[in-house]
Amino acid sequence: MYIAFFFIVFVLTWALAQGAKIKATETYYNFQQALDYAVSELTTGKEYDVRLEQSKVTRVFMLKFSEMLNAAPSGSRLTPRDSSYPGPIDVVSIRGIRKGESIPGGQAKQEGFYAEISVPVLRCNVPLIGEKYVTVPMDYFSVVQPIGI
Amino acid sequence: MKLKGRYSGMLSDVVSTYGVMFLIMLVLVGAMMAMGMINQWSMLHAEAAYIASTMAKFGGYTDVAASSLSSFCSETGMDESKITKQVSARGPVMRGTVMWVRLSYPFEFKICPSLPGFTVPISAKAYGVSNYLSGTPIAGSVYVNP
């Protein structure tokens, strides 16, 4: 009898994990789109320097990403207005990377911006400790691809 | 299930064994179908994200997105007429506008075609930011209704 109980608990846990995975994947797609736009807006049709545009890219990215997630940006944190995410999303860093500099996973072959965020996907109430989030760290390197005007 | 006498508990053992086996089989079949549903859901998300990226590039829902959706349907075996498509704007929209696409599909829970099943709606929403500059020539793509 116990084996059936364990089996059902296992399947339920698996379903919960799959739901969290789908949520995280969905967020990652949107994160890529927002960063790609922010990078291309700041580098299209003008002279740029990736280090100097860093704060502007961060600002545009926060604006567009918060509009996508229906969240309120404050500092480096996006607080969702509805219950689509269990907690606030942290924008850890956005860095301008020059050609040849090292990024996680190798060397940058082209200029771009490297961003890291951490997204909460599950919330659990741990007794005696309090609320804990299961967060998924995400990173993305968006290369500069200006549109010719 | 404590055995007391020589024969007591034998029948209940037999019944509970089959009962547990039946329960495990039921959960197993359900989990397999749920796995299929989650696979389809993930695929739908990926397709929605691709359509959102084309919408961001061309500034609206173009025939590129429509043809990618029909090839996606033929590859994954989904029925294209059952997919409902919603977009924020048909296009072209201004650069910097956040746009979204939502694909919904009724997933059928069915063991075999003769038995009645039930459907669960799955939907995937993906966002893109329009990167379209008016005046940019778009080769071979026209705006279509989703």
Domain ranges within chain A, ordered by starting residue: 2-143
In sign, the C-alpha dihedral spanning A48, A54, A55, A58 is: positive
Contact B132, B95 (CB under 8 A): yes
From the number of C-beta atoms within 10 Å of its C-beta (0-12, 13-18, 19+), residue A44 rates as: middle
**Domain segments of chain B as ranges:** 9-129
- Tell me if chain B has a CB within 8 Å of the CB of A149: yes
Predicted-complex ipTM score: 0.85
pLDDT, tens digit (0-9, with 9 covering 90-100), for B30-53: 888 888 899 999 999 999 999 999
Please give, rounded to a whole number of angstroms, the shortest distance from the CA of A34 to a CA of chain B.
7
The two three-digit tokens of residue A128, written as one number? 């005696």
Amino acid identity at A102: S
Q: Chain A window 105-134: which residues touch B at a Cβ cutoff of 8 Å?
A: none
Please give, rounded to a whole number of angstroms, the shortest distance from the CA of B56 to a CA of chain A.
8
What pLDDT is recorded for position B106?
93
Question: How many CB atoms within 10 Å of residue B8?
Answer: 10
B42 Cβ neighbours under 8 A, 6+ residues apart: A22, A25
Is the previous residue joined to A146 through a cis bond, with omega within 30 degrees of 0? no
Q: Which of A26, A61, A66 would you mutate first to test chain B, the one with the most B CBs within 10 A?
A: A26
Residues of A in contact with B24 (CB under 8 A): 3-4, 7
Contact A100, A106 (CB under 8 A): no
pLDDT, tens digit (0-9, with 9 covering 90-100), for B64-104: 899 999 999 999 988 899 999 999 988 788 888 999 999 99
- Tell me if chain B has a CB within 8 Å of the CB of A11: yes
